[in-house]
Chains A and B, each alone.
Chain A
Amino acid sequence: MKLLQERTRKQKVGESRIIRTAVRLLVPFVQLFGLYVIVHGHYSPGGGFQGGVILGASFIMLSLAFDQQTSMRFMSERANALLGNLGALIFIGVAALCAVFGGLFLDYGALDVLIPLGPVEWRSFGIFLVEVGVGLAVMSIMVSLFWDLGSAGRMDEGL
């Protein structure tokens, strides 16, 4: 075990060629599936939380198979923090907009005055907006939890 650990440390990144290649091939499909789960939550099981976790898992896979720096090249620390805040803000912003435009808090039908789609269609679209916000927030928080716990907050090579 010790020998194995030292041997992997000597290699530049990652553990085995098989894992690295498999992850490199899988990551785009995992991300596509995550987006699909978020936007298809209206018609099938899924939604913001599940899709966000799948999207986050793709970055976690990158940092497990390569190292944390590799996954931070695809999603920088700053962009990750920005997306997390943006996701939470989208949810609360949409909810607050409903109150501003004369409805109740979180009553998406009130957004009808912005773009006249009809209150029922707006409820459907409002759920979609909110799910996107949830997905963004969950994704970036999953990733940042893994980065922080895996590298003890130093944001270097990680596990």
Chain B
Amino acid sequence: MKALALLATLVTGAILLYGTMDFPDWGDPRSPASGALSSHYIEKAVEETHVPNIVTAVLGDYRGYDTMFETVVIYCAGLVVVSVLRRKKDERPEQGS
């Protein structure tokens, strides 16, 4: 079981590392981030969302998916800790825990 878990971790890590090979280089002028996108956010954020703080506008609106799944990640972390650690009142914890 442990070997299987290690294998799954290594395979996932390898896939993620393979995915980074498609990233644009640092400061690549043709990458999407250096193109029209950044200046569009800076110029149009207040006009399009009426939020004076651009960080909030990007975080909550333009990058809404990112923020949503950040919340889901935190939620999952809490859920896992509760389901692993929490005991019922009358349940005796095992030795050494």
Interface positions of A (Cβ within 8 A of B): 41-45, 47-49, 81, 84, 87-88, 91-92, 95, 106, 108, 120-121, 123-124, 126-127, 130-131, 133-134, 137-138, 140-141, 144-145, 148-149, 152-155
Interface positions of B (Cβ within 8 A of A): 47-53, 55-57, 59-61, 64-65, 67-68, 70-72, 74-75, 77-78, 81-82, 84-87, 93, 97
Contacts of A152 in B (CB 8 A): 85, 93, 97
A90 to B49, CA, bound (A): 20
Q: Do B61 and A148 touch (CB < 8 A)? A: no
A137 to B71, CA, bound (A): 7
Q: Do A153 and B68 touch (CB < 8 A)? A: no
Q: Do B60 and A88 touch (CB < 8 A)? A: no
Q: Do B68 and A127 touch (CB < 8 A)? A: no
Contacts of A42 in B (CB 8 A): 51-53, 56
A26 to B35, CA, bound (A): 48
**Chain A contact residues: helix, strand, loop or mixed:** helix
A134 to B87, CA, bound (A): 27
**Across chains A and B, which 8 residue pairs bring their CB atoms closest together, nearest first?**
A153-B85, A141-B78, A127-B60, A106-B64, A124-B50, A123-B49, A148-B85, A153-B86
Q: Do A144 and B82 touch (CB < 8 A)? A: yes
Tell me, rounded to whole Å, the shortest Cβ–Cβ distance linking B22 to chain A.
Answer: 25
Candidates A88, A120, A127, A154; contact of B71 at CB < 8 Å: A88
15 inter-chain pairs at a CB distance below 8 angstroms, sorted by A residue, are A42-B53, A47-B60, A81-B82, A91-B67, A95-B68, A106-B68, A123-B49, A124-B49, A124-B50, A130-B60, A141-B75, A144-B81, A148-B81, A148-B82, A148-B85
A9 to B64, CA, bound (A): 48
Extra inter-chain contacts (8) besides given A48-B71, A121-B50, A126-B61, CB under 8 Å: A41-B53, A95-B68, A123-B49, A127-B61, A134-B67, A144-B78, A148-B81, A154-B87
